[in-house]
Amino acid sequence: MEILNPTQLSRDVGLKTLEKALRVSESRTALAIGIPKETAADERRVSLAPGGVSVLVANGHRVIVEAGAGAGARFEDREYADAGAEIVPTAEQLHRDAACLVRVAPPSVEETALLHEGQLLISAVHLGTAKAAFFEQLIRKGVTGIGFEFLQSRDGSFPLVRMMHEITGAVAVQVAAHYLERTQGGPGVLLGGVSGIPPATVVILGAGLIGEYAARTALGYGAQVLVMDDDLSALRRIENALDRRVITAMANTQYLHTALQSADVLIGAALVEGDRAPCWVTEPMVASMKEGAVIVDAVIDQGGCVSTSRATTHSDPVYRAHGVLHYAVPNMPSCVARTASYALSNVLVPYLLQIGDAGGLAGALWNHVTLRNGTYLYKRHVTKKALSNLFGLPYRDIDMLMASRI
């Protein structure tokens, strides 16, 4: 048997380039991707940043941007033009020219009227405020819908929701600290305390991503943090993730009553992915809280987890109920629109590339489970059981629709 000489091996193998030809899909197609200007109240985010646009254009796709679409996130039209996008003056022209619309908030009634047969709509759905009429109109128009909330990877994670949840958790604590100030109507409490003065108590409902990042931020402020959930394994996970620096408790009625009576801040982060948020806090529980305490319902876009919560806006964000200040803005990441827009772009661009590389949406649905999971309207049918149950709409399994080739 021949003995390999290490020097010869290095010369013959290690120094050779081992490249091979890259197979380019023959079915690849160029997409016409539209980025509209957001019209939802106080929505400052944009779905794709100029850097993401440049990647799409470099891969042969056409990107159409409505003038002023990035202004809320401090992106100028010039930056999009430099990245290779076409700037159009009106929403009507954008909707006419784009086969795929990528937006942050779901379209308004007026914008829905601009959609046409065969278009692909990628956006948030906002289950907490959605109406059956919205889905019925999209079905009549033959629009395919992919929802941010439904994009689920094979490992069970929700990539786009995860990014927004990380931001939401951090912003929730920043907001709470602000409204604890006396000038904002709060009791004048410093979240982290100072030497000789105990910190504020922050109670977080939900040990998911929003809860985890809220806890990380609150700990960074120096607050005392209690995380509650009805899932013991989730509490174990967050204890391990935060090195047991938080107190955890099961979210049963007894513990909730006790915790809320001592809370300076309540962060509502209880969430069921792809469904409405569970309502854990009753009105009597809110009434038992301290005068001037702050509630930030960070899942109000999914219906909220506090019974006294109602959706507010960035321009009018708070109200009082039972002496407790409530903040319940559905699009909290819009506070940090530039960071949030970069985060959206980082997640969405690979999906758009996958659709183009697969020759269109039909091929991408066959090849990419995340896109298939994210689709809630396909071939004039609702393909999400949760939506069917919430709004009484007929349901069809997307795998069956694809296989039947209707």
Q: Which are the catalytic amino acids? A: 126, 301
Backbone φ and ψ for 86, nearest 5 degrees, come out as -95, 130
Residue 168 φ/ψ, nearest 5 degrees: -60, -45
Taking the CB of residue 332, how many other CB atoms lie within 10 A of it? 28
Backbone angles phi, psi at 351, to 5 degrees: -65, -40
Q: Tokens for 300?
A: 């109000």
Q: Output the CA–CA distances (angstroms, integers) from residue 313 to 40, 166, 328, 331, 332, in the order listed.
A: 10, 20, 8, 8, 9
Q: What span, in angstroms and rounded, lies between the C-alpha atoms of 123 and 357?
A: 21
38 closest CA partner among 165, 152, 113, 124: 124
Question: Which residue has 């507010």 as its token pair?
Answer: 312
DSSP conformation class of 395: B
Task: Classify residue 179 by burial, with Cβ atoms within 10 Å: 0-12, 13-18, 19+.
Answer: buried
SS3 375: strand
**Cα–Cα distance between 363 and 168 in angstroms, integer?**
34
Half-sphere exposure at residue 10, Cβ-oriented, CA atoms within 13 angstroms: 3
Residue 171, SS3? helix
Amino acid, res. 84? G
Q: Determine the length of the chain.
A: 406
DSSP string, 68-80: TTTGGGT--HHHH
| Angstrom distances, CA of residue 89 to CA of 37, 69, 86 | 10, 10, 10
